[in-house]
Chain A
Amino acid sequence: MTLKSNKEIPIGGLIDEAGSSKKFKTGDWKSFRPITDFSKCINCMMCVCWCPDDCIPTEGNGNDIKRKETDFSVCKGCGICANVCPVKCIKMEEEAKFLK
């Protein structure tokens, strides 16, 4: 992202558009990454409901609803999903090993 000059930005630090947070990838804060074993997942939606950053996407509806892979560009690695999972199919793994 190119940084703008003081004449190109709104006054007072104002953000003058809606939904601009989509432009900011905050997932690089994390030191642990939740790794989901989809073969054990029962699609109970506990992790989806508990995720404080709303970063576990789903597809389908009703009884057919399925969770998809966590959006790591936003996930902060808090580990709540792993903690609430009733079948323990989410493991927190060191982020460092994914960065190589």
Chain B
Amino acid sequence: MKVKALTGTGAGAEAMRQINPDVVPAYPITPQTAIMQKFSTFVADGIVDTELIRVESEHSAMSCAVGASAAGARVMTATASAGLALMWEIVGVASGLRLPIIMAVVNRALSAPINIHCDHSDAMGARDLGWIQIYSESAQEVYENMLIATRLAEKKLLPVMVCQDGFITSHGVENVEIFDDDKIKNFVGEHKYPHALLDIKKPVTHGPLQLQDYYFETRSQQIPVMEESINDYLKIGEELSKITGREYKLFDKYNMDDADVVIVTMNSTAGTTKTAINRLRSEGKKVGLLKLRLFRPFPYKEVAEALKNVKQIIVLDRSVSFGANPPLLGEVKNALFDVKYEGLLHSGVFGLGGRNIFIEDIEDLFNKALDGKLEKSFYVGLRE
């Protein structure tokens, strides 16, 4: 194991180097570009065996990924924001055709107004397109989640997105533990796609028309396989734990056991929240964090179990759903309905377009909640 100074995008590229995909179709978009920039140097230096295909748009990138994956290749790509929006149509094709494509998503706000900084509106918009979504707090988690994603995608024949916060994680340098190539290559294994177009001994047709007679049956197959993938994610995580010594759960519980107030959030803000918790715990305040890793499939039962006895829950969303509950709040509410939750549920929207959320902001939320003064729904850091 080596410790390297890497950004979140650099950690993603390191994972790709070890995974050694057969085909990577790519189109640059801020702040994802750094992944492909670094990965392309691995290709140019002959360090990986990858066919790197430079395409003319993200729609083409995902189309190319679909073709290569159907042919039997291990395929990876990366995108963000408008790039994810442009490939939308084919993102749904990838999951509908059950192609195990792995895509790094560097979360960035959607236009308009045009903005290059972090929020989760890109990936949240794609939450119903049939992809598994794993969120990463740090560059270290980006690296490890990419490894899990590869195994999970190829086991379930489902595409997987690995998300990280644009600029905050993607361009911030951290110490990242990169595990030995041979151990990781052994963990990831070889991709053996059972329906490869290029397998001439077993001819197949991908993507035929299905109308009223079969579309419903085919689509319905995706539902149980997504639900089952929760267990596969955990099993694959346990295998990776043997190499890294870290745990890969559906969500992390930080100081939750005796907490009166718990924040539920994802990605880098979980790290900010941990620091706020450390400060408040030193003052004897019982506050905690539930950091979600797996957003699709959503672990309703497990989240409900973890939160059902907490007096106050604050769900912090970095995106909105206009005219509806913010995405994370909506899911937490759904989960709590089944356990007849009787505590207080607060909803906070923060950080749209990269607006910073500070440790003090989170301390303030916890303190207000402890004093019984936190509103049911609020914005963090908005001038209103």
Interface residues of A (CB under 8 A from B): 3-6, 9-18, 20
Contacting pair A16 B96 (CB below 8 A): no
Question: For residue A15, which residues in chain B have a CB less than 8 angstroms away from its CB?
Answer: 204-205, 208
Residues 220-235 of B at the A interface (beta carbon under 8 Å): 220-221, 225
Cα of A94 to Cα of B205 in the assembled complex, Å: 35
Q: Is B281 an interface residue (CB 8 A)?
A: no
Contacting pair A11 B206 (CB below 8 A): no
- Nearest CB on B from A53, distance (A): 17
Contacting pair A14 B195 (CB below 8 A): yes
Q: Max chain B CB contacts within 10 Å: which of A5, A11, A16? A: A11
Contacting pair B206 A12 (CB below 8 A): yes
Contacting pair B203 A13 (CB below 8 A): no
Q: Is B186 an interface residue (CB 8 A)?
A: no
Closest to A20 in B: B205
Cβ contact of B221, chosen from A3, A6, A17, A18, cutoff 8 A: A6
Contacting pair A5 B221 (CB below 8 A): no
Contacting pair A12 B213 (CB below 8 A): no
Contacting pair A6 B217 (CB below 8 A): yes
Contacting pair B96 A13 (CB below 8 A): yes
Q: Is B113 an interface residue (CB 8 A)?
A: no
Closest to A17 in B: B203
Tally inter-chain residue pairs, CB-CB below 8 A.
53
- Nearest CB on B from A82, distance (A): 29
> Can you name 10 A-B pairs with beta carbons within 8 Å?
A5-B217, A9-B217, A11-B225, A12-B96, A12-B157, A12-B221, A13-B208, A13-B210, A15-B205, A18-B203
Contacting pair B218 A12 (CB below 8 A): yes
Answer whether A3 and B97 are a contact pair too, CB < 8 Å, given A14-B205, A16-B202: no
Cα of A15 to Cα of B214 in the assembled complex, Å: 12
- Nearest CB on B from A41, distance (A): 36
The 9 closest A-B pairs by CB, nearest first: A12-B98, A15-B205, A6-B217, A18-B203, A12-B97, A13-B218, A11-B98, A6-B220, A13-B210
Answer whether A14 and B214 are a contact pair too, CB < 8 Å, given A6-B220, A6-B221: no
- Nearest CB on A from B198, distance (A): 14
Cβ contact of A9, chosen from B202, B206, B218, cutoff 8 A: B218
Question: For residue B225, which residues in chain A have a CB less than 8 angstroms away from its CB?
Answer: 11
- Majority secondary structure of chain A interface residues (helix, strand, loop or mixed): loop
Cα of A38 to Cα of B105 in the assembled complex, Å: 65
Q: Is B207 an interface residue (CB 8 A)?
A: yes
Contacting pair A3 B214 (CB below 8 A): yes
Question: For residue B205, which residues in chain A have a CB less than 8 angstroms away from its CB?
Answer: 14-15, 20
* Binary per-residue interface labels of chain B (41-85) against chain A in the complex, 1 for a CB within 8 Å, 0 otherwise: 000000000000000000000000000000000000000000000
Question: For residue B157, which residues in chain A have a CB less than 8 angstroms away from its CB?
Answer: 11-12
Question: For residue B99, which residues in chain A have a CB less than 8 angstroms away from its CB?
Answer: 12
- Nearest CB on B from A12, distance (A): 4
- Nearest CB on B from A51, distance (A): 22
Q: Max chain B CB contacts within 10 Å: which of A3, A12, A14, A15? A: A12
Contacting pair A16 B218 (CB below 8 A): no
Residues 177-215 of B at the A interface (beta carbon under 8 Å): 195, 202-208, 210, 213-215
Question: For residue A14, which residues in chain B have a CB less than 8 angstroms away from its CB?
Answer: 97-98, 195, 204-206
Contacting pair A4 B217 (CB below 8 A): yes
Question: For residue A9, which residues in chain B have a CB less than 8 angstroms away from its CB?
Answer: 214, 217-218, 221
- Nearest CB on A from B230, distance (A): 19
Contacting pair A11 B221 (CB below 8 A): yes
Question: For residue A11, which residues in chain B have a CB less than 8 angstroms away from its CB?
Answer: 98, 157, 195, 218, 221, 225
Cα of A11 to Cα of B216 in the assembled complex, Å: 12
Q: Max chain B CB contacts within 10 Å: which of A13, A14, A15, A16? A: A13
Cα of A39 to Cα of B215 in the assembled complex, Å: 48
Closest to B225 in A: A11
Question: For residue A5, which residues in chain B have a CB less than 8 angstroms away from its CB?
Answer: 217
Question: For residue A6, which residues in chain B have a CB less than 8 angstroms away from its CB?
Answer: 216-218, 220-221
Cα of A56 to Cα of B45 in the assembled complex, Å: 56
Q: Max chain B CB contacts within 10 Å: which of A5, A6, A15, A16? A: A6
Question: For residue A10, which residues in chain B have a CB less than 8 angstroms away from its CB?
Answer: 195
Contacting pair A3 B218 (CB below 8 A): no
Question: For residue B96, which residues in chain A have a CB less than 8 angstroms away from its CB?
Answer: 12-13
Question: For residue B220, which residues in chain A have a CB less than 8 angstroms away from its CB?
Answer: 6
- Nearest CB on A from B132, distance (A): 15
Closest to A4 in B: B217
